[in-house]
Each structure stands twice: as structure tokens, then as C-alpha cells.
Amino acid sequence: MVTRRTVLTQGLQAGAAFAFAGFADRCLAQQTPTAHPDEMTITSAPHAQKAAPPSTLPPAMLPKEAEVLCGENSLKAHARKHGLVVGAAVSMHALQSDPAMQRLIAEQYGIVVPEGELKWRALRPAQDRFDFTESDALFAFAKAHHLEVRGHTMAWHNSVPDWLQNSSKELDVRQLLVDHIHTVAGRYRGYVQSWDVVNEAILPADGREDNLRKSFWFERIGPDYIELAFRAAHEADPHAKLTYNDYGVEYDNPEESARRVAILSLLRRLQQRKVPFDAVGIQAHIKAGSTSSIGKGLAEYIESVRQMGLEVYITEMDVNEDDLLYDDVARRDREVAATYRNFLSVALANPAVKSVLTWGVSDRHTWLNDGPTHHRKQPNRPQRSLPFDDNYRPKEAFFSIRDCIDERMA
Ligand code: XIL
């Protein structure tokens, strides 16, 4: 087996010898043009299979430290032996122009989730139009590389298009949501392992007794938008595992403890009302150097979900290292890796956990660099949050993840 020690030491020795940037440029020049836009009206949407040509994978090489981790040394192969699927969020924009990333994903992962391509803002340029260009390309890529797909997401407060946000109170938003779910989940029926039907519906700070977030969907439809969305998703794709996805359940502190209680009580209400759903997503956007620990609260939360007969997916894992006040890269990488381990050693101990996805693959692209909110303390320092560095070399975090998978008893 190729271990942490062999790869990380060889990596240091090989150092700058690997002219990755030049190689990536050459691959980029070989790219085929992207497909024509696939805009259509609600009623004319064809099934994805007819619409999307399979993407072709130009020859690509990874740095040798990553090449030796392909095949039986990959995360995917290790996960398979322990009843798990590993995956990552991908952005089609980044993927299409980067054959090396395509190879990395195809080699390392068994499942992908589009970072934005299935959100309302991407799919709905206008009330009467869908744009499936990017999402179809993603499904084609997944199909060509035998990857499963997670769908993300049908109802999320943070991806409501402006035309909808500003729409007249006369608009039947209830019907609009149902039609949207029928069209999108119907288009990809049979190709989606699980759908994050509802995302981040809980916000105790909004002050409601049921702890529901006063989101656009809540305000325009009412608390039963959640139930409505799950029922519509079940009608459109009865075989996809329908998932409630949320953040802020990872740490042992009063705030996250309250969030766990609130989410569990939402899940119980849904089950009492016989709402069809199968799984709970734990986003796992965690932090290096946090003053709170990860342990009892997370373990008990996952066990409660298991006892409800639901599966658990780790859906968006990454480690924000903005709080680390030292710049030394090796030290930061060690701390990030330890943070992955802290979380995964607790989460993977429960057999209800079936998959682990990171929110991105390499530090070349992470949402944590995009906005100021994740970057307050080190505004000019790119985050080293993911398993591969920005040249696709594996970091300590890669081996932490793989070791935790190997240690899983389930
Ligand atoms: C983020 C994407 O990574 C960004 O590119 C986008 O601008 C905003 O959304 N929780 C979620 C994800 O459920 O959809 C979010 O993704 C990150 C937080």
C-alpha cells in the first residue's frame, strides 16, 4: 500500500521537478468546445439521457504523488472495502477546463455533487425557463466515469433567483416549487443516488417555537413547504434517497446542541406525518483550531438519526483554517488533517453513515476563498482546506481521511 510517509517524502523530493502548470496548459488547449445552451420551457424539457452528449476525457496526468494514489490506493477503493462511498462537490466550470481535475475525480471518488448547477439560481434564469446546460454536462461526466450523483438542492434560502425574490404576492409559489421539483427530479430520475430536497431549514435565532428559518420558502408557502418538497421529490423520483441537509451539528457547544435538538424534532414531526424521506445530511464545514470539541454531541446525534431508521451522509466536508494564526504550511496542513480525523473518527464509527463528500477536491478551488465571511482573520491567505493542494498533490488531510476510512469497523 502506498502510505502517507512514502508519498509525502517523495513529494518533497520531487518538489518543483514536476512542471504541472505547463502540462495543464497543454491539456487545456486540447479541450473540446462545450455543448450548446439547453434552454427550454417548462413543458418541453426532455430527459437528460437524450440531451447530454458524454463528455470526452482528454489524456491527463496528475503529479506523480497523486498518480501513485490511483487504483487500489484511492479513497474510492479504500471506502468500498468499508461499506462507504467517498465523493466531492464539483463545479462544472472548473471541471470542464481542467482535464487533470477530471482524472483526479474519476480516480479518487465514487460520487459527485454539483456545487451550484442544480440550484435555483443556476437552473431558473426566468420564471418560464430552465437552463440545464451545466447540470446536463455534469450528469454526462458522471455517467462517462461511472460516478454516482447527489442532487443539491430543491429548497434553500440562499439560492432564490432575483425574479422570484421580487415576484408579486399573487404568484403561486407553492405550485412553482412543486413544478420545479417535478421537472428537475423527473429529468434526472434514475441517475441520482440522493437528493438534498431541503437545505438549512433550521435557524433557532429566528425565534420561532419550531425553530424553522424564516426563509423565502417559509414566508411564501408556510412551514409545510418542507413536507410539500419531499412529497413532490418522491413523486418525481421514487428511488432517490431523499435527504434533509443542514450544518451546525458537529460541535459540543450549546448553540450546536440546540440546533441538533431542533433538527431531530423536525425529523420526528416529518416522520409522524409520514413524509417520505430517507436520510440526513451533515454538512461538516468545520474549523481548525476551534475552541469547541467534536465528540459526544455528534455521536449521539448520528445515533438518534440511525434509530429513526434513516441513513446519514457527510455531505460538504471541509476545514476552514482561517483561525490558525501561524503561516507555516506544514504546521497548518497537520492541523487541518487532525481536524478531519477528529470529525471522521467520531462520524464513521456509526454504521448509519454511508458516504463522505468533501466540498471540493483541491485548494485550487474552494468556496472558502470566495467570500469575506470565511476569511476574516487571514484575508490574503488562500485556505488549505481540502485533501489535495492547488497542484493536486495529496496533503496530510488525504491520508487522514483514508486512515479514518480504514479504521472503520462497520
Ligand atoms: C456554496 C458554493 O460553494 C458557492 O460557490 C456558492 O456561491 C454558495 O453556495 N452550504 C451549502 C452549499 O449547502 O450549497 C454552499 O455552497 C455552501 C454551504
Which CATH number is 340's domain given? 3.20.20.80
Q: Is residue 181 part of a domain?
A: yes
What is the reported pLDDT for 59? 62
Q: Which atom of ligand 1 is nearest to the CA of 153?
A: 14
Query: Which of 316, 317, 357, 365 has most ligand 1 atoms within 8 Å of CB, for mutation?
Result: 316
Q: Do residues 258 and 204 touch, judged by C-beta distance below 8 A?
A: yes
Q: Is residue 196 part of a domain?
A: yes
Determine if ligand 1 sits within 6 Å of the CB of residue 246: no
Tally of structural domains, the chain:
1
Q: Is residue 8 part of a domain?
A: no
Among 27, 388, 346, 360, CA closest to 370: 360
DSSP-derived pairing of the beta strands 85-90 and 129-131: unpaired
What pTM does this model have?
Answer: 0.89
In the three-class reduction of DSSP (H, G, I as helix; E, B as strand; rest coil), residue 372 is classed as helix
Place of cell 460520487: 111
Name the helix (H) or strand (E) containing 282.
strand 279-282
Tell the burial category of 20 from Cβ atoms under 10 Å away from its Cβ (0-12, 13-18, 19+): middle
Q: Do residues 404 and 340 touch, judged by C-beta distance below 8 A?
A: yes
Q: Is residue 4 part of a domain?
A: no
Domain that holds residue 400: 38-407
Amino acid at 402: R
3-state SS track over 119-181:
CHHHHCCECCEEECHHHHHHHHHHHHCCCEEEEEEEEECCCCCHHHHCCCCCCCHHHHHHHHH
Q: Do residues 96 and 113 touch, judged by C-beta distance below 8 A?
A: no
Residue 243 pLDDT > 80, yes or no?
yes
pLDDT confidence of 130, banded at 50, 70, 90? very high
How far apart, in whole angstroms, are the C-alpha atoms of residue 91 and residue 89?
7
Residue 162 pLDDT > 90, yes or no?
yes
Q: Is residue 290 part of a domain?
A: yes
Summarize pLDDT for 119-129 with one digit per residue, the tens: 999 999 999 99
Q: Is residue 12 part of a domain?
A: no
Find the mean pLDDT for residues 239-250: 98
Q: Is residue 60 part of a domain?
A: yes
Q: Do residues 155 and 407 touch, judged by C-beta distance below 8 A?
A: no
Q: Is residue 11 part of a domain?
A: no
How many A from CA of 366 to the centre of ligand 1? 10
